[in-house]
Amino acid sequence: MNHSILQKQNPIVILGGGMAGLIAGTYIQQQGEKSIIIEKSSKTGGSMKMSGGSIWCFKNHSDYKKINPHGNTMLGEKLIDNFLPSIEWLISLGAPIKNVTAALYRETDRHCYQMTPNSEYFTQFITEKFLELGGEIIFNSNITQIKCNSNKLIEEIEIKTNSQIKSINCSSLILATGGFHNNPTLKNEHFGKWSDKLIVRGNLYSTGDGLKLATSLGAKKSKSMDSFYGHLMPAPPAEVPRNRFSEFTMYHSEHCLLLNEDGNRFTDESICDESNAEATIQQNNAISYMIFDDKIYKKYGIKKSISGEIINDPFKKSIEINALTTKENSIQKLVETLSYWGVKKEASLKNILGYNDYLINKNTSSISIPRAKNFNPIGTPPYYAIALTTGITLTLGGLETNENAQVLNDKNIPIGNLYSIGGDSGGIYNHSYGGGLCLGLVFGKIAAGNAIKYHH
Ligand SMILES: Cc1cc2nc3c(=O)[nH]c(=O)nc-3n(C[C@H](O)[C@H](O)[C@H](O)COP(=O)(O)OP(=O)(O)OC[C@H]3O[C@@H](n4cnc5c(N)ncnc54)[C@H](O)[C@@H]3O)c2cc1C
């Protein structure tokens, strides 16, 4: 095998060329410094390229705290404070984004900048900008070794690319590999025994490499390792096409009733679909059965344009991909079909009727889990049911970092010149969410700025 040494003068090396890595690299180049992105796949973009392209963020600290009471407040506030300046910087580069009014997120207002016309075009733009500014990308590569000096500072990395091993002297290493949503062992460890059923909604290359490398150097894992951002999607035998995840996402589950195989409710469905997705992975076979009536279906299940035109109907589309679905004229018949699918009949009938009694007659003794909002009884036929499972988009636990995006050890001391950004860092959201692209944007720029300072 060939072994060559790249003749670069100590560039800042970035592992991963998705949202966070490309932002960090572009900022470094723009500041006149040198960076190299090592990308495991043959293309840039990662999950960013598959995303809906809404770069959004809460508008103030209190909204962040309201939705993320258990998140890392210091980093959450840093995110909010740096969001608009980071957006302004992106706009100053000529980035194809535009300010849009987004729907409230769990009753909170938010800033939203939409990648236009889509995230694929944005990926192309930011990749070209990075290259135009003199950045370098090495594709199909993986880091094989990190060498530190006697002060435990990283000074060289070794990468394997095709049949070559290359050594690169580096002034800092920025981890931006996107988290561990496609690592079966880590998912089993943190999300429990049904985690192998998770549909991977994000890119397939994020297998926790940043986390593994940093922990091998003594890094500490953040809180919220058992937390992820995902959505409910049709369960097998349905097969959701990987390029059409959004069309099959059951965003409206928060208006419906969810039962598990025992026929029991297991969560307050009204919190949000993301929370229902996390709760479903803890149920037998990672399955939940979403039940709704015609009123809910027409009001929340079908997405329409302002002029009334149907934009998306995930229930109808799920039938086309062989999901377990049914539409019945009575609750009795609905329960019979559920029973045919393996859901306990008596319990499911009792729980649907109890749920209605609670919502209509305010009879709290009819249910075991109260509901905070979205009081929609299952009352108007026809009645619908669909078998769902969880799609994982992004892990929310990861490396513990400080306000400079430096990776911390278990004594909360920065590990010299090692940084972590985007999905590789954890704890900002904890069993809650607040946008994924904004993390890469804000902390990508912060890590880059600090790595430059360190270089000098
Ligand atoms: C369907 C979908 C819709 C979404 N919609 C939105 C949205 O509208 N708004 C929003 O805010 N967020 C959205 N997200 C989430 C958002 O895309 C992610 O949070 C964001 O892309 C994470 O950025 P990142 O840089 O950490 O990871 P990524 O963008 O995934 O980039 C990680 C990169 O690292 C590479 N990599 C992995 N391992 C290695 C390694 N060992 N060495 C080198 N490279 C490696 C990967 O190949 C990848 O290119 C969506 C995600 C999906 C999947």
Residue with CA at minimum distance from ligand 1 atom 18: 436
Q: Does 178 sit in the ligand 1 pocket, CB within 6 Å? A: yes
Query: What is the position in ligand 1's atom list of the atom closest to the CA of 177?
Result: 34
Q: Are residues 70 and 128 in the same domain?
A: yes
Of 347, 375, 392, which residue constitutes the final position of a domain?
Answer: 392
Residue with CA at minimum distance from ligand 1 atom 49: 46
Of 392, 417, 447, which residue constitutes the final position of a domain?
Answer: 392
Query: Per-residue confidence of the chain (456 residues) as pLDDT tens digits?
Result: 444 444 446 999 999 999 999 999 999 999 999 999 999 999 999 999 999 999 999 999 999 999 999 999 999 999 999 999 999 999 999 999 999 988 888 889 999 999 999 999 999 999 999 999 999 999 999 999 999 998 889 999 999 998 899 999 999 999 999 999 999 999 999 999 999 999 999 999 999 999 999 999 999 999 999 999 999 999 999 999 998 998 999 999 999 999 999 999 999 999 999 999 999 999 999 999 999 999 999 999 998 877 888 889 999 999 999 999 999 999 999 999 999 999 999 999 999 999 999 999 999 999 999 999 999 999 999 999 999 999 999 999 999 999 999 999 999 999 989 999 999 999 999 999 999 999 999 999 999 999 998 877
CATH number at residue 404: 3.50.50.60
Q: Does 268 sit in the ligand 1 pocket, CB within 6 Å? A: no
CA neighbor of 129 nearest in space, from 24, 41, 52, 13: 24
Q: Are residues 388 and 412 in the same domain?
A: no
Q: Does 52 sit in the ligand 1 pocket, CB within 6 Å? A: yes
Q: Are residues 105 and 146 in the same domain?
A: yes
How far is Cα 389 from Cα 204, in angstroms, rounded to an integer?
Answer: 18
pLDDT at 3: 46
Q: Are residues 220 and 253 in the same domain?
A: no
Of 359, 392, 425, which residue constitutes the final position of a domain?
Answer: 392
Q: Which residues contact 433 (CB under 8 A, 6 or more apart)?
A: 67, 229, 274, 396
pLDDT at 304: 83
Q: Are residues 152 and 90 in the same domain?
A: yes
* Residue 229 within a domain: no
Q: In the chain, how many domains are there?
A: 2
Q: Are residues 280 and 339 in the same domain?
A: yes
Q: Which residues contact 168 (CB under 8 A, 6 or more apart)?
A: 5, 6, 8, 11, 13, 36, 156, 157, 158, 159
Partners of 425 in beta bridges: 399
* Residue 8 within a domain: yes
CATH number at residue 279: 3.90.700.10
pLDDT at 322: 96
Q: How far is the CA of 433 from the centre of ligand 1 (A)?
A: 15
Q: Are residues 276 and 158 in the same domain?
A: no
Q: Does 24 sit in the ligand 1 pocket, CB within 6 Å? A: no
pLDDT at 4: 46
Q: pTM (2 decimals)? A: 0.94
* Residue 276 within a domain: yes
Q: Does 18 sit in the ligand 1 pocket, CB within 6 Å? A: yes
Q: Are residues 291 and 174 in the same domain?
A: no
Query: What is the position in ligand 1's atom list of the atom closest to the CA of 47?
Result: 30
Q: Are residues 366 and 333 in the same domain?
A: yes
How far is Cα 386 from Cα 317, in angstroms, rounded to an integer?
Answer: 12
Q: Are residues 18 and 160 in the same domain?
A: yes
pLDDT at 336: 98
Q: How far is the CA of 46 from the centre of ligand 1 (A)?
A: 5
Q: How far is the CA of 62 from the centre of ligand 1 (A)?
A: 27
DSSP E strands, 352-424: 383-395, 406-408, 414-420
CA distances (Å), 66 to each of 41, 42, 111, 432, in order?
38, 40, 16, 10
Q: What is the DSSP string of 121-137?
A: HHHHHHHHHHHHTT-EE
Range of the domain at 132: 2-224+398-455
How far is Cα 320 from Cα 324, in angstroms, rounded to an integer?
Answer: 10
| CB 427, CB 222: distance < 8 Å | yes
pLDDT at 8: 44
Residue with tokens 């097969």: 239
Q: Are residues 190 and 267 in the same domain?
A: no
Q: Tokens for 72?
A: 């890392």
Other residues' Cβ atoms within 10 Å of the Cβ of residue 207: 19
